[in-house]
Amino acid sequence: MAGATSAAADRKIVAFCCRECAYAAADASANARTPLPPTVRLVLMPCTGRVSPLHLLSALAEGADGVMVAGCLLGQCHYREGNFNAVDRVAFVQRLLKSVGVEPERCQMFTMSAGEPPRFVAAVREMDRVIVGLPPLPRSEASGNREVPLAAARGAA
Amino acid sequence: MRAGVFLCECGGNISGVINLEPLAAHVRGLDGVVEVNVNQFMCGTEGRAMIEKAVEERGLDHFVIASCSPRFQGPTFERIARELRLGENAVAFGNIREGCSYVHGHEPERAQEKAKKIVEGAVARLHHMSDLPRHRTFLNRSVLVVGGGIAGISAAEELAATGIEVHLVERQQSIGGSMARLSKTFPTEDCAMCSLAPRLTGTATNSRIHLHALSDVTAITGPPGEFNVTVRHRPRYVNEKCVGCGECAAVCPVTYPNDFDFGVSERTAVHRPFANAVPATFAIDRKGWSPCKTACPVHTSAHGYVALVAKGRYEEAWRVASEPNPFPSVCGRICTHVCESECTRGNVEDPIAIAGIKRFIADHGAPAELPAPLPVFYDEPIAIVGGGPAGLTAARELAQFGYKATVLEALPVAGGMLRVGIPEYRLPRDVLQGEVERITALGVELKTSQRCGTDFTVDSLFNDGYKAVFLATGLHQSKDLPIPGLDQKGVLRAVEFLRAQALSEQMTTGKRVVVVGGGDVAYDAGRTAFRCGAEEVTLACIEDERTAPASSEEIEEGKEEQVAVEYSLVPIEILGSNGAATGVKFQRCTLGEPNERGWRPPVPVEGEYVELFGDTVIFAVGQAIVDDFTAGADGVTVERGQIGVDPDTMMTGRSGVFAGGDAAAMGPWTAIEAIAAGRRGARAIHNFLRGEQLVPVWDAEADKVKIPHTELEPFEPQARRIMKTLDGVARRTTWEEVRLGFSEEDVRQEAERCLDCAVCSDCKSCVTACPADAIDFDQKAWDEEITVGAVILATGHQEFDATRKLPLGYGRFQNVLTQSQLARLLAASGPTAGELKRPSDGQVPKRIFMLQCVGSRDCTSSGNEHCSAICCLFATLHSSLIKQHYPDAEITIGYTDLRAPGKAHEEYYRLVQERGVRYVRGRVGEILEEQDGSLTVRMENTMTGSKSEEPYDLVVLSAGLEGSKGTQDIARVAGVQTAAAGFIREFHPKLAPVDTQRAGMFLCGTAQGPKNIPDSIAQAKAAAARAISMLSTGFAMTPAQVAASDLEVCIGCGVCEASCPQTAITLTVGADAHSVVDPNVCRGCGICAADCPTGAIQLGGFSDDEILAEATV
């Protein structure tokens, strides 16, 4: 087992960010050189409505210790309702994680407007705080994959 | 795959944190990568040349750009790939600037590691990326401009000049927007209207601009280039015949706060906001039927006559009141006035005394002379059986349609229950007689002492040549209760007792009277008994005090006359001795559960009995039909005590025979319901005889509105006027009318309590006054569908609501105004013709204080963070105007920072300083109002730190700008986002300032953010140019990022069809049903792909494989 610091450095959080709000807020916070924990890895999505449980569970199964979905404020979705779908799917994945004994807080939803970079930064820092506070997800020795049941993922969509 | 990876230094922004050489070395070893290059600026020409060279020499088919955020330069590299014929979706991005070097500069080692992973992810993604199809799409060469302010009309003019058709939609009744409400404009101090008016006229007369005023955009669907727009046209109620003469406004009785003048003046319901309005036609501000009008069974415009009474126009008020109802005097006295129950003021205090007002106008507004007989157009005579309110109303209606109507009344006098049921002290005979005579004067024939079934029959009427019969025979018999002792002397029935008294005027009763019943008839019988010799009257009813059925007036007046009431008693026996009644034995009861008709039967309480003694017992426990008219009227049926009629046609079982009123009631047995039934009966007969649906039998209530009082302008509570009555006990011996009516002073004050909640009162004075016959109350809102290629949003701003700043007193203190209000007071065309008069007393203020940054530059929850940009110069302009007009004026401007950027603005600020306006850097703590309306301003000077308290005559708040309500609404409809303070967000604040996030939708003016007039115009022309450049080719390509369904995998479940917010997906029909995506409509959100249970639908550029390849590295 590595020490606390190196453990934190090894962690990975995949942040599925919608292009309209969260990614825009991320860009804006970055332009202001606001430091972020390097655990986070941004994945650009057209809308959080595109995020399916498959993406969240696969990411957790294949290397991520946490996943976050960051979208527009509810009611402000560029496509009207994509972020509501995302809220549902995140809640579903949380229930699924809980049922197999994985901490549900490894998967979280955040909303913000493009004009609220501080909210994006706060979301990432919060997620980092949670994930660094948890042990790494156990890794299957044989396959190198994590022991999260993937079978349900496709059907969950 | 032959992939290239291009690493960008970004001039040190990236390479200053990440060491790109080892990164390049790492990337070279990745599967499929054949070329890795590093450049200082990949987005520059050198970078492009590097990509071109690599594609040519190394045969690249995909490449990765590891540089800034793909939101920033992504489109540049996608275009390069397209131009190098690599197709759509050949580039993946590694965001190593915003996603790495910018945010991890403090941890370069971890940044280096992360950059590796980011580029690895992008390369992994490449393996799953394939070319995406795009289609040509037609572009409609027309543009929708939403908002007719200076920005909207500038854009419209520019577009029209290039030959593009423009639909300009304005929510208000005139175009002109905020600029039309200004007095002058800074820094040139030229008149706003003088420069605007020619532009308004030019817009209206431009043949390529289709102006839709008083209209809203309610939906925008479809793809850019071919948007389908729904425009809802709200009714003006004034048609194109209007010549703008203003005769209508001169007679309109409604005064309403003038929203165009920001409430510093009043306007009428029919109005034109300003003289140069475009279109120049007036419009009626009409929310619909006021609640009082809706509530009335005949839909009398109570609001209409109340408004006219407030102006002292009693004869016109009488015409409004009598138009649907021939009995305004009667209804002013004895109506159940449901109008008052629905009155909007009644939500907070006592409602308007509508009935009392109506009585006043009937007593004082009715014309002295009788009307002239109406011409008879149709030769079918009509017989009306029964001369009560239903029959007489039907007769008048039929006479107005052009029929000869004959009323046959069984009693020797006309009026029915109004005459023989309601006692004279409530409804004087001459009042009723006067209204009956107005009906007969129209040519209605009245034959009295003609009883149907005895003197004639329905058969004989048809034999005599009548073509239709209306039965309105009423309920002229008392119901009896099955209890012993009814046949004794001294037992009376209320209906018969009241009728005998009304006809003979000489009934007598014993000294002690017991009335069984608790409704209006019971009170009428009891109170009549006093006037027939009784000294003690006791009412006994089964209901308890709370559910007593009598009207509040009867209960109140009964109490004044000392009518005793016993509740919760059910009669079980009439006591008597020697054949004469001596009293009634009752059993105590409670009310049971309501039956299906809402009636609660009494439940006797065992063993509890009450005896009331009296020598006269009057039963008032209900009324029944006298059905002798059915003899000789085959087909007319009486069931459950009512004539059976079809509610839609009012026709009985016999063709040509109609019925209404109490005998065929569809509502409560009240006079006003009978009058309503008479109107319906007449219309039904007219339709029947003419063989078509000429007039609606039932009034459509489509227009009814109920406006919560909270949505109205704030109003002061004001007590309802109490009508004077004769003294309670003394009046028991007289037949004089008990209620004395309102005095003129009272009635006008009472009428002024009306809140004009529906604005237009439906008095129709304008219809009479209009010389052009232009008023059209039948107009309805309608939707128009138009197709446009592009949309420009120019919906503007609104002033910050200064009431949110409580300590500043706005909305509480009369002499605290906003700059917009001051602009109206300073405008030559404004309510004071440019004279500065303070609201409280009309005096010219000498000491004036202007406070800047109200709701702007304010990080508290009640304000906005942004600078509203125009307020410093807005206040400077107004100070300058006042100073020139009133050199004695002492003006102080309290500012946060004085901001005067822009051409000639600083110079103007200096000039106005030199004119003697005092600028003080300071913040105001609070403003206090003195007795005389003057104000004390408590301020901290932020230069010196000193606190001051200074007296002023007028305070003007420079309230900031926010996105207007219209801007919020259109953002929702158009699917574009708003940012802080409700302004629409542009696509990119620097590079695409007039684009929205939706392709084909552009933005200009203060809908985008605070700005002055020249900036708004410049931006409007830029937006027009964007629309022109988009539409100029006539064709465009559909985006690559759309969903597509794989027929081999799709199982036709339909989940995607249900989940698509754009309705871009349809399911084919048949055994091999599958989904089909319309790429013109799809906007590429990918919700369908996330929902698809089989993975058949994938989003172009965002397939599951692409996303997972990147996310799992």
Question: What per-residue confidence (pLDDT) applies to A139?
Answer: 60
Q: Is residue A4 part of a domain?
A: no
Task: Please give the model's pTM, rounded to 2 decimal places.
Answer: 0.76
Given a contact cutoff of 8 angstroms between Cβ atoms, the answer to whether B1001 and B974 are in contact is yes
CATH number for the domain including A90?
3.40.50.960
The two beta strands, B1097-1099 and B1043-1045, are: antiparallel
One-letter identity of residue B617: V
Query: Which amino acid is present at A108?
Result: Q
Which residues of chain A make contact with B1061, given a CB cutoff of 8 A? 79-82
Mutate to test the interface with A, among B102, B976, B988 (most CBs of A within 10 A): B102
Identity of the residue numbered B834: G
Q: B1090 to chain A: which residues are within 8 Å by CB?
A: 49-52, 85, 89, 157
State the nearest Cα–Cα gap between A94 and chain B, in angstroms. Answer: 17
Contacts of A72 in chain B (CB under 8 A): 977
Tell me which residue of B797, B864, B820 sits closest to B1007, measured CA to CA: B797
Contacts of B978 in chain A (CB under 8 A): 76
The size of the A-B interface in CB pairs under 8 A is 146
Work out whether strand B847-854 and strand B954-959 pair parallel, antiparallel, or are unpaired. Answer: parallel
- Does pLDDT of A155 surpass 70? no
User: Which residue in B93, B1085, B1107 is closest to A79 by CB distance?
Assistant: B1085
Within a domain: A24: yes
User: Are the Cβ atoms of A50 and B1087 closer than 8 angstroms?
Assistant: yes
**CB-based contacts of A53, cutoff 8 Å, min separation 6:** A89, A92, A93, A96, A153, A156, A157
- Please state, in angstroms and rounded to a whole number, the distance separating the CA atoms of residues B180 and B172: 12
Contact present, B854 and B958 (Cβ < 8 Å): yes
CB contact set of A51 (below 8 Å; sequence gap of 6+): A16, A45, A69, A86, A89, B1090
pLDDT of residue A104: 97
Asked if B997 and A78 come within 8 Å (Cβ–Cβ), the reply is yes
Cα separation, B194 vs A8, in Å, equals: 69
pLDDT attached to residue B307: 97
A150 CB within 8 Å of a chain B CB: no
Cis peptide before B279 (omega within 30 of 0): yes
Interface check A120 vs B, CB under 8 A: no
Give the phi and the psi of residue B220 in degrees, each rounded to 5. -130, 115
Q: Does B973 reach chain A within 8 Å, measured CB to CB?
A: no
Q: How far apart are CA B751 and CA B355, in angstroms?
A: 11
Quote the pLDDT of residue B335. 94
What is the CA B969 to chain-centroid distance, rounded? 15
Note whether residue A30 is domain-resident.
yes
Q: Are B1023 and B1002 in contact (CB under 8 A)?
A: yes
**Angle at B550 (CA atoms; ends B548, B552), nearest 5 degrees:** 100
Contact call for residues A104 and A94 (beta carbons, < 8 A): yes
**B95 interface with A at CB cutoff 8 Å:** yes
Q: Is residue A129 part of a domain?
A: yes
- A153 is a domain residue: no
User: Is A3 inside a domain boundary?
Assistant: no
Nearest to A31 among B98, B118, B1084 (CB): B98
Please name which of B138, B173, B141, B175 lies closest in space to residue B160, comparing C-alpha atoms. B141
Q: Please give the sequence-ordered ranges of beta strands (E in DSSP) within B1033-1091, or none if there are none.
A: 1035-1037, 1043-1045, 1065-1067, 1075-1077
Test B1087 with A47 for CB contact under 8 angstroms. yes
User: Average pLDDT, whole number, for chain A?
Assistant: 85
Of chain B residues 113-172, which have a CB less than 8 A from chain A? 113-114, 117-118, 121
Q: What are phi and psi of B955, to 5 degrees?
A: -120, 135
Residues in chain A within 8 Å Cβ distance of B982: none
Residue B394 is given by DSSP the state H
Residues of A with CB below 8 A from B1110's CB? 43
The answer to whether the CB atoms of A113 and B1099 lie below 8 A apart is: no
How far apart are alpha carbons B768 and B753 in whole angstroms? 26
Judged by CB atoms closer than 8 Å, whether chains meet at A50 and B95 is answered as no
Query: Across the interface, do A79 and B1083 touch by the CB < 8 Å criterion?
Result: yes
Chunked into runs of 10 residues, chain B (1113 residues) has average pLDDT values of 96 95 96 96 94 96 96 93 94 97 95 96 95 88 97 98 97 96 95 94 95 97 89 96 94 95 95 93 94 94 96 96 96 94 93 96 94 95 97 97 96 96 95 96 96 94 96 93 90 94 87 94 96 94 89 92 94 92 94 83 90 94 90 90 92 95 86 96 95 82 79 87 92 93 96 94 96 94 96 98 95 96 94 93 96 95 94 97 96 96 95 96 95 96 95 97 96 88 85 85 97 97 96 84 93 92 84 88 90 94 96 92
Q: Which of B345, B223, B241 is nearest to B1064 (CA)?
A: B223
SS3 letters for B159-223? HHHCCCEEEEECCCCCCCCCHHHCCEECCCCEEHHHHHHHHHHHHHHCCCEEEECCEEEEEEECC
Task: Domain count for chain A, please give it.
Answer: 1
What lies within 8 Å, CB to CB, of B14 at 6+ separation is B7, B8, B20, B67, B96, B97, B100, B101
If 0-12 CB within 10 Å is exposed, 13-18 middle and 19+ buried, where does residue A135 land?
A: exposed
Cα(B306)–Cα(B756) distance, integer angstroms: 10
B790 phi and psi angles, rounded to 5 deg? -145, 165
Domain containing residue A34: 10-133
Q: Is the pLDDT of residue A23 over 90?
A: yes
From chain B, pick out residues whose CB is under 8 angstroms from the CB of A10.
none
The pairing of strands B142-146 and B790-793 is parallel
Q: Is residue A157 part of a domain?
A: no
Query: Taking a C-beta distance cutoff of 8 angstroms, is the pair B405, B385 a contact?
Result: no
Residue pointed to by tokens 């909007």: B344
Rounded distance between C-alpha atoms, residue B888 and residue B883, angstroms:
7
The bridge status of strand B491-493 relative to strand B256-257 is: unpaired
* Separation in Å, CA of B958 to nearest CA in chain A: 26
Count Cβ atoms within 10 A of the Cβ of residue A76 and give its class: 0-12 exposed, 13-18 middle, 19 or more buried: buried
Cα–chain center distance at B239: 22
For residue B114, give every residue at least 6 positions away whose Cβ sits within 8 Å of its Cβ, in sequence order, or none.
A38, A41, B100, B104
**What pLDDT shows up at residue B1052?**
92
Task: Determine the Cα–Cα distance for residues B573 and B583; give it in Å rounded to an integer.
Answer: 9
Query: Is A154 a member of any domain?
Result: no
Contact residues for B689 (Cβ-Cβ < 8 A; gap 6+)? B378, B380, B403, B467, B468
**Contact: A52, B1104; criterion CB under 8 Å:** yes
Q: CA B110 from chain center: how many Å?
A: 59
Indicate if the pLDDT at residue A32 is higher than 80: yes
Handedness of CA B328, B331, B337, B340 (dihedral sign): positive
Give B1066: exposed, middle or buried? Use CB within 10 Å, 0-12, 13-18, 19+.
middle
Phi then psi for residue B185, to 5 deg, are -120, 145
d(CA A108, CA A60): 12
Amino acid (1-letter code) at residue B459: D
Are residues A35 and B97, on separate chains, in Cβ contact within 8 Å? no
Q: Is A34 on the interface with B (CB under 8 A)?
A: yes
Using the Cα atoms of residue B170, residue B173, residue B174 and residue B179 in order, give the sign of their dihedral.
negative
Strands laid side by side in the B580-591 sheet: B569-577, B580-591, B602-613
Q: Is B11 exposed, middle or buried (0-12, 13-18, 19+ CB in 10 A)?
A: exposed
B323-344 in b/e burial notation, b at 16+ Cβ within 10 A? bbbbbbbbbbbbbbbbbbebbb
3-state class percentages of chain A: helix first, strand second, coil last, to nearest 5: 45, 15, 35
Q: Radius of gyration over alpha carbons of chain A, in Å?
A: 15
Instruction: Indicate yes or no: CB of B1090 within 8 angstroms of CB of A113.
Output: no
* B972 phi and psi angles, rounded to 5 deg: -70, -45
Q: What is the pLDDT of residue B546?
A: 87
Interface test with A, best of B98, B1049, B1092, B1105 (most A CBs within 10 A): B98
